[in-house]
Structure 1
Amino acid sequence: MSFIEEFKKFAFRGNVIDLSVGVIMGSAFGKMVTAIVEDLFMPMVHPLLAKADQHWSSIVIGPGIKIGHFAAAVLNFFVISLVVFVLVKMLYGLKELEKAPNADGSTERPEIRDALKK
């Protein structure tokens, strides 16, 4: 088996393609979460924590000890965790809505052709 044939066999295996799609979707999801946190939530938090003359994340308590930077990282972690939790909960809610029972109690979705026959 030639090198190219082996590469084709490896690259076009189902799990490699699935993993590639997952990485791409994860990257896009990460950018979306970062945008939500930086553009929506943090502008609301900064005025509550900052003094008028300085940004609260630039607070230093000693030589090289950036407590403000650490606090900002911790706060970002918790806000990002909260946003991811809410987004995942919304997605699962949509999934459950899709599985909601019909009027007759079944969870199967009727096909269009079946509805047209009736």
Structure 2
Amino acid sequence: MIKEFKDFIAKGNVMDMAVGIIIGAAFTAIVTSLVGDLINPVIALFTGGIDFSGWFYVLGEESFASIEAATEAGVPVFAVGKFVMAVMNFTIVAFVVFLLVKMVNRIKDAAEKEAETPPEVPKGPSELDVLLEIRDALKRSD
């Protein structure tokens, strides 16, 4: 069973997947910062100061100044802003992954095209040149 586990771990796909997960986790922090720190303030500028991360509705009669206060009070909260940020994060990540896949496919296509192109065979003498050589050789041997 240990040998089987070693074989499984040693496969290239498992290692590629592990690297992808680690990079994905690091990339998520970057995207979260991009959305929260750069995109949301720009959107808030155009929407009159609306901060999406603090956009929420309390499901009840009470009123709270922030989503944290409502959550601490144990009141059910409809957190619209967090959902909007999650959708924006997903959209950015999906677009970047699309660009990466597009770039990798372009590189693969170029490599396949290069592999498909047969190497040029150096041209030898034409059929006429060979026949003329044979004729000349026959003339000399007479």
TM class by shorter chain equals 0.5 to 0.7
Q: Percent identity?
A: 22
TM-score, normalised via structure 1 length: 0.57
- Higher Cα radius of gyration: 2
Mapped partners of 2:25, 2:95: distance in 1: 18
> Which residue of 19, 22, 26 maps to 2:20?
22
- The alpha-carbon deviation at position 101 of structure 1 amounts to 4.4
- The alpha-carbon deviation at position 20 of structure 1 amounts to 3.7
**Runs of 4+ deviating beyond 2 Å:** 8-13, 15-23, 58-67, 99-102
> Which residue of 61, 64, 89 maps to 1:80?
89
Alignment map for 1:35-50 (pairs within 5 Å): 35-47=33-45, 48=47, 50=49
Matched letter for residue 97 of structure 1: R
Q: List per-residue Cα deviations over 1:57-107 (Å, max 9, x = no partner).
A: 25554433444xx111110121012101210111022113213448xxx61
- The alpha-carbon deviation at position 49 of structure 1 amounts to 5.8
- The alpha-carbon deviation at position 36 of structure 1 amounts to 1.9
Mapped partners of 1:60, 1:101: distance in 2: 52
Alignment map for 1:1-118 (pairs within 5 Å): 10=5, 13-14=9-10, 17-47=15-45, 48=47, 50=49, 55=51, 57=54, 59-61=56-58, 62-63=61-62, 64-67=75-78, 70-101=79-110, 107-108=113-114
Root mean square deviation, CA, Å = 3.4
Matched letter for residue 98 of structure 2: K
Structure 1 alignment gaps of length 5 or more = 1-5
Q: Number of paired residues? A: 97
Checking the alignment, whether the CA contact within 8 Å between 1:11 and 1:17 is kept in structure 2 is: no
Checking the alignment, whether the CA contact within 8 Å between 2:55 and 2:80 is kept in structure 1 is: no
> Which secondary structure does the structure 2 equivalent of 1:40 belong to?
helix
